[in-house]
Amino acid sequence: MAEFKIRAHITGNLWKIVVAEGQAVVEEDTLVIMESMKMEMPIESPVKGLVRKIFASEGASVREGDVIMILEVG
């Protein structure tokens, strides 16, 4: 199985985590919703896979490029 790292595309807060560890996702499913400068921006799954590990919690501050979660694919 291959791993796919989901990274924050902006610096901001994790407003909401939509998925849970162990959950199956498909391409374009919303994984988390980021908040920056009073704007909400979803991060969607680029692949079909399984949420293997979530590294951040709701309300956490993250920087652009931080790994938020790992998806298992293949």
Render pLDDT for 48-74 as a digit per residue (tens, 0 to 9).
Answer: 999 999 999 999 999 999 999 999 998
Q: What is the pTM of this model?
A: 0.93
Cβ contact 62:14 at 8 Å: yes
Give the count of beta carbons closer than 10 Å to the beta carbon of residue 36.
16
Render pLDDT for 26-43 as a digit per residue (tens, 0 to 9).
Answer: 999 999 999 999 999 999
Q: Where are the domains of the chain?
A: 2-73
Cβ contact 43:28 at 8 Å: no
- pLDDT class of 6 with cuts at 50, 70, 90: very high
Level-2 CATH architecture, domain 2-73: Beta Barrel (2.40)
The pair of structure tokens assigned to 38 is 């009073």
d(CA 66, CA 54): 12
